[in-house]
A = this chain, B = another copy of it.
C-alpha cells in the first residue's frame, strides 16, 4: 500500500458535504443503545429526493447495506465518490418516482459517511472514539432512523425498502414500529444471521485484528499510509467473493493472469491471477472510502441480527409484521440464499399476512440487487403502487 492512502476513509466535517444533510439529536436527549450504553449528540447524515406532501403520507425510507451510505441516488461529485447505489431506481419517472414519493436515505449509526460512528469525536476528549465506540445493533440503527423520521415530520413510512443489511433494517422497522410502516420490501436478506454468515463475518474481523496497523482500533493518529488498510482489504476480499458467484467469476476471470501473461516456468507465490487483481482492486477502492472500525462495527451488527432476540423467537417476532410485504431473492446468492427470503414470505403467510416473494433471475449472486435494476425496480414500483391503492 502506498503512502498516499488515508488513515481512514471516514467522512469528516470539513470534507465536501455533497447532498448530505445532518440531524443531530438534541443534547438533552441521549440515545440509549441495545447494550445500555448512552450516546450523546448523535448525528445522522441523510439525503432526500422529491417533496414530502402536505399530509406526510408519501415518504419512503431506503436503507443501505454494509458499506453503503446515504447517497442512494444522484451523480458522483464532491462528497460522493460514486453515483448513488440505487440511482437507477430513484428519480423522476423511475420505480421510486420522486415526482410522487419523498425518498429518504440515511447513513447508519456506526457508519463513517457522516453519521456517528467509531471515527466520531468522543464527548470527553474530542478524539476519535476508536476502541471506545460501543457495539451497535440493527435495532439501534432503526431507532436512530425513527428519531430522524420524527425530525422530518414523518409518522408513517409508505414503505421501508432495502437489500442485504438494508433488508435487516426493513424487518426491524416493521417489528419495532408496526404502526409506523404501511408496507415493507426486504431484499436479499434474512430474519436472523446464520452460522455461515457469522463465520464469514468472523473471518473479516480476524483479518483486521491481524493487521498490526489496526492497533486495537485506536489508529486515527497514524501517519498517512499507516492505517489498517491491509486488514480491511483482506476482510473485503472475503465479502467480495461471497457477494458474487462461482459462475460469474469463471466467466469474467477464468484462469487469466493479472498481467496478461501465460503461466510458464516463471511461477511465483505472489504472481496474481486476474481474479486476485480484481479482489485487490475492490479492497483498494474500499480502504479509500471507508473506515476500518465502521466495517467492524457494522459487520458485528449484522452477525447480531436476529429479529427473534428478546421477543420469544423468530415466529413470535415475525407475527408482529402486519403490513403488506414484498420480499425478493436471487437464485445465485450464496451469502443470503433465496431460501431465507422464501422463509420470510412463508412465516408471514402462515400467520395470515399478505406477503409475496419475487426471485431475481441473475447469475451475479448477492450483488444482483445492486446490478439487476430492470428486475429489482418494476416489482417494487408495482408493489408500492398497489399499497397506495389499498
Chain A residues packing against B (C-beta within 8 Å): 34-36, 134-135, 137, 192-196, 198-200, 202-203, 205-207, 210-212, 230-231, 233-234, 237-238, 241, 245-246, 249-250, 252-255, 263, 265-270, 272-276, 279, 296-297, 300, 303-304, 306, 309, 334, 337
Contacts and interface: CB of A to CB of B under 8 A. Distances in A.
A135 B211 contact: no
A203 B269 contact: no
Given A265-B36, A304-B267, A337-B246, A276 B198 contact: yes
A336 B275 CA distance: 17
7 contacts: A193-B255, A195-B250, A195-B252, A195-B254, A195-B274, A238-B238, A255-B306
A135 B267 CA distance: 6
A387 to B, nearest CB: 32
A309 B267 CA distance: 13
Contacts of A233: 206
Contacts of A193: 255
Report whether over half of chain A's contact residues are helix, strand or loop; otherwise say mixed. Answer: helix
A165 B91 CA distance: 51
Contact of A35 (B135, B199, B266): B266
Nearest to A238: B203
A258 B230 CA distance: 28
A207 B241 CA distance: 15
B234 A303 contact: no
Contacts of A309: 263
Given A34-B267, A35-B265, A269-B300, A241 B196 contact: yes
A31 to B, nearest CB: 15
Nearest to A300: B269
Given A206-B234, A234-B206, A255-B192, A199 B267 contact: no
Contact of A269 (B205, B255, B268, B275): B205
Q: Which of A35, A195, A263 has the most CB of B within 10 A?
A: A195
Q: Which of A202, A265, A300, A334 has the most CB of B within 10 A?
A: A202
Contacts of A266: 35
Contacts of A200: 241
A231 to B, nearest CB: 6
Contact of A203 (B196, B237, B270): B237
A268 B237 contact: no
Given A194-B250, A195-B274, 6 more contacts: A35-B267, A194-B246, A195-B253, A196-B245, A210-B231, A269-B296
A196 B34 contact: no
A234 to B, nearest CB: 5
Contacts of A36: 265
A268 B250 CA distance: 39
Contacts of A194: 246, 249-250, 255
B250 A196 contact: yes
A34 B231 CA distance: 33
Question: What 9 A-B pairs come out closest when comparing CB atoms?
Answer: A195-B249, A195-B253, A195-B275, A135-B267, A196-B246, A202-B276, A196-B249, A36-B265, A199-B241
